[in-house]
């Protein structure tokens, strides 16, 4: 080998050595930087060092999730405070992965990427966690405030009136759908923090048009006017004069129903001072000493509707709590009612 050839070889080796040293030095100068083409949860990290990438991911990915979650149900808004979510994110681990991805391949491969501007094209995910129990409780709280049972149409009775009260629809939160929506929002890292919840309308079983069939027969008793009114299909059909309880033994107020019915009922005399010698005894039905004449319709405990031989007491407060009627009227009423018929006294 001639001198000239040896010189060329030496120069070539020197150039290669210098190139290798330069490549190594350039590679070392970029080892703390993330390569272009590396992303995390959609955030480009190329050209950033560890501290810069950490700050950027916290700002773009973590901070938006450290905000309250809101749920709208109609005009109502419910808020799950950010502190209750307890959002946590492994930003440091993600940045480490980004740096490792940037250093993949051999030295010549990395230098080639630097020179040509090619990228490793890696999309990493910042793992974010939150309190699932807090979300579950939040959904339960929203449901508790939202859900309401449907209300059937019914009748509001008065001493001498019946008023139909309209039905009301109920509402049911679609809680499973809301639960999935909240957790999907958190899992995706979405900055959208308000979710519109969906509900389902619950229909009542009895509507205004159907309420009449629910009350084929009704009795109202006015203590002020000493009148018993019989209603059929919510229409007043006939009124009877009655006597009610005295001031000392008042007839109770409220909504009751006919609990028992008897023809020529016996009288189980209360064990009270006012009953005198008859206290605690039983007087057979039809006996002249029995004040329960012809018919008995029990309403509440010992209080009932019955016929009386003291028809002169009708139109006054004279009984020991029962509602007295003339024998003819009580028989007529008895034949038009059943056990369970509502009785309103007021």
- Between these two residues, 284 and 250, which has the higher pLDDT value? 250
SS3 270: coil
Place of tokens 């773009």: 60
β-pairing, 317-319 vs 244-245, is parallel
**What one-character-per-residue DSSP string does 152-221 give?**
--EEEEETTEEEEEPPB-EEEE-HHHHHHHHHHHHHHT-S--EEE--EEEE--SS-TTTHHHH-SEEEEE
Place of tokens 């679609």: 174
What's the pLDDT score for residue 123? Answer: 84
Check residues 148 and 279 and name the one with the higher pLDDT.
Answer: 148
Give residue 17's pLDDT: 46
Rounded to a whole number of angstroms, the CA Rg of the chain reads 45
* Mean pLDDT score, 311-335: 96
* Closest alpha carbon to 264 in 234, 237, 278, 284: 284
Catalytic pick among 162, 242, 243, 322:
322
119-124 long-range contacts, CB within 8 A, separation 24+: 119/35, 119/36, 119/37, 119/38, 119/46, 120/35, 120/37, 120/38, 121/37, 122/37, 122/38, 122/39, 122/98, 123/39, 123/40, 123/42, 124/38, 124/39, 124/40, 124/41, 124/94, 124/97, 124/98
Closest by CA position to 80, among listed 144, 148, 136, 126: 136
Would you call 320 a catalytic residue per the annotation? no
SS3 87: coil
- pLDDT-based confidence at 296, cuts 50/70/90? very high
The tens digit of pLDDT for each residue in 216-267 reads 999 999 999 999 999 999 999 999 999 999 999 999 999 999 999 999 999 8
CA distances 71 to 33, 173, 180, 311, Å, are: 41, 12, 13, 68
Query: Tell me, what's the pLDDT at 126?
Result: 87
Query: How far from the centroid of its chain's Cα atoms is residue 255's Cα?
Result: 31
Q: Are 271 and 280 in contact (CB under 8 A)?
A: yes
For residue 83, the model assigns a pLDDT of 93
- Tokens read off for 329: 């009227």
| Poorest-pLDDT segment among 97-101, 239-243, 317-321, 335-339 | 97-101
Q: How far apart are CA 217 and CA 215, in angstroms?
A: 5
**Are β-strands 303-307 and 317-319 bridged in parallel, bridged antiparallel, or unpaired?**
unpaired
Cα–Cα distance, 287 to 278 (Å, whole number): 13
- 45 catalytically annotated: no
237 or 272, higher pLDDT:
237
Domains in the chain: ranges and CATH = 3-62+91-126 (no CATH), 215-345 (2.40.440.10)
Among 110, 122, 295, 306, the one annotated catalytic? 306
DSSP state of 119: -
How many percent of the chain have pLDDT more than 70? 84
Average pLDDT, the chain: 86
In contact, 215 and 164? CB cutoff 8 Å: no
SS3 readout for 45-79? CCCCEHHHHHHHHHHHHHHHHCCCEEEEECCEEEE
Tens digit of each residue's pLDDT (9 = 90 or more) over 51-103? 998 999 888 888 888 889 999 999 999 999 999 999 888 899 998 888 887 76
Euclidean distance between CA atoms 179 and 329, whole angstroms:
63
pTM for the full predicted model: 0.62
pLDDT digits (tens, 9 = 90+) for 2-57: 555 554 444 444 444 444 444 444 445 456 788 888 898 889 988 888 999 899 98
**Mean pLDDT along residues 260-283:** 78
């Amino acid at each position: 080998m001639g001198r000239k050839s040896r010189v060329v070889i030496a120069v070539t080796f020197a150039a290669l050595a210098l190139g290798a040293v330069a490549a190594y030095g350039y590679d070392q100068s970029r080892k703390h930087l993330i390569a272009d083409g590396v992303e995390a949860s959609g955030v480009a990290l190329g050209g950033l060092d560890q501290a810069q990438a950490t700050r950027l991911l916290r700002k773009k990915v973590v901070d938006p999730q450290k905000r309250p979650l809101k749920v709208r149900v109609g005009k109502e808004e419910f808020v799950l405070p950010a502190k209750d979510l307890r959002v946590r994110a492994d930003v440091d681990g993600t940045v480490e992965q980004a740096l490792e991805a940037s250093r993949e391949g051999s030295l010549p491969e990395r230098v080639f990427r630097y020179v040509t501007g090619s990228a490793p094209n890696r999309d990493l995910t910042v793992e974010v966690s939150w309190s699932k129990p807090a979300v579950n409780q939040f959904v339960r709280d929203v449901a508790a405030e939202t859900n309401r049972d449907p209300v059937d149409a019914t009748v509001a009775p008065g001493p001498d009136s019946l008023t139909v009260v309209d039905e009301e629809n109920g509402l049911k939160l679609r809680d499973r759908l809301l639960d999935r929506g909240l957790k999907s929002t958190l899992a995706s890292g979405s900055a959208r923090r308000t979710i519109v919840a969906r509900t389902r309308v619950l229909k009542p079983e009895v509507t205004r048009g159907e309420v009449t069939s629910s009350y084929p027969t009704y009795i109202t008793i006015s203590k002020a006017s000493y009148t018993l009114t019989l209603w059929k299909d919510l229409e007043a059909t006939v009124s009877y004069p009655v006597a009610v309880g005295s001031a000392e033994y008042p007839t109770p107020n409220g909504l009751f129903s006919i609990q028992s019915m008897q023809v020529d009922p016996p009288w189980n005399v209360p064990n009270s001072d006012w009953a005198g010698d008859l206290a605690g005894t039983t007087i057979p039905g039809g006996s002249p000493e029995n004040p329960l004449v012809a018919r008995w319709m029990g309403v509440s405990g010992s209080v009932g509707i019955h016929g009386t031989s003291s028809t002169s007491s009708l139109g006054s407060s004279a009984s020991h709590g029962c509602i007295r009627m003339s024998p003819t009227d009580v028989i007529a009423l008895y034949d038009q009612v059943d056990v369970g018929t509502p009785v309103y006294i007021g």
